[in-house]
Amino acid sequence: MTDALSIARELVRCPSVTPADAGALDVLENILKRAGFEVHRVVFGEPGTADIDNLYARIGNAAPHLTFAGHTDVVPPGDESAWTHGAFSGEVKDGFLYGRGTVDMKGGIACSVAAVLDYLAANGGKPKGSISFLITGDEEDLSVNGTIKLLQWAAVRGEKFDHCVLGEPSNVEQLGDCIKVGRRGSLSGTLYVDGIQGHVAYPLRAANPVPDISALIVALSNEPLDHGSAQFQASNLEFTSVDVGNTASNVIPGQARAKFNIRFNDLHTQETLRVLVEQRVAKAAGNRVRARIAWEPSNSNVFVTKPGAFTDLAVAAIEQVTGRRPEFSTSGGTSDARFIASYCPVIEFGLVGQTMHQIDERAPVSDLEKLTKIYRGVLDRYFG
Residues contacting residue 321 through CB under 8 Å, at least 6 positions apart: 176, 370, 373, 374, 377
Closest to Zn ion by CB, 105 or 252: 105
Tell me, residue by residue from 280 to 319, as one string, x for binding to Zn ion by CB under 5 A and - for no binding.
Answer: ----------------------------------------
Residue 224 beta carbon to Zn ion: minimum distance, rounded to whole angstroms: 30
C-alpha–C-alpha distance, residues 348 and 335, integer Å: 9
C-alpha–C-alpha distance, residues 20 and 24, integer Å: 9
Residue 68 beta carbon to Zn ion: minimum distance, rounded to whole angstroms: 14
Residue 104 beta carbon to Zn ion: minimum distance, rounded to whole angstroms: 4
One-letter amino acid of 351: L
Residue 384 beta carbon to Zn ion: minimum distance, rounded to whole angstroms: 29
Task: Choose among 309, 285, 382: nearest CA to 68.
Answer: 382
Residue 295 beta carbon to Zn ion: minimum distance, rounded to whole angstroms: 26
Task: Check 73, 138, 266, 367 and give the catalytic one.
Answer: 73
Closest to Zn ion by CB, 104 or 118: 104
Closest to Zn ion by CB, 105 or 113: 105
Residues contacting residue 224 through CB under 8 Å, at least 6 positions apart: 234
Closest to Zn ion by CB, 87 or 252: 87
> For residues 163-182, which are near Zn ion according to CB under 5 A?
168
Residue nearest to Zn ion (CB): 104
C-alpha–C-alpha distance, residues 339 and 71, integer Å: 13
Closest to Zn ion by CB, 53 or 168: 168
**Cis-peptide, bond into residue 356, ω within 30° of zero:** no
Annotation says 139 is catalytic: yes
Residue 252 beta carbon to Zn ion: minimum distance, rounded to whole angstroms: 46
Q: Beta strands 38-44 and 52-59: pairing type? A: antiparallel
364 has which bridge partners?
Answer: 96
The site that binds Zn ion (CB under 5 A) totals a number of residues, namely 3
Buried b or exposed e, range 355-378, using 16+ CB within 10 angstroms: bbbeeebbbbbebbbbbbbbbbbb
C-alpha–C-alpha distance, residues 278 and 51, integer Å: 37
Residues contacting residue 283 through CB under 8 Å, at least 6 positions apart: 219
Residues contacting residue 286 through CB under 8 Å, at least 6 positions apart: none
Tell me, residue by residue from 80 to 109, as one string, x for binding to Zn ion by CB under 5 A and - for no binding.
Answer: ------------------------xx----
> For residues 130-169, which are near Zn ion according to CB under 5 A?
168
Task: Check 29, 104, 139, 348 and give the catalytic one.
Answer: 139
Closest to Zn ion by CB, 65 or 71: 71
Residues contacting residue 124 through CB under 8 Å, at least 6 positions apart: none
Known catalytic residues are 73, 139
Binding-site ranges for Zn ion (CB under 5 A) = 104-105, 168
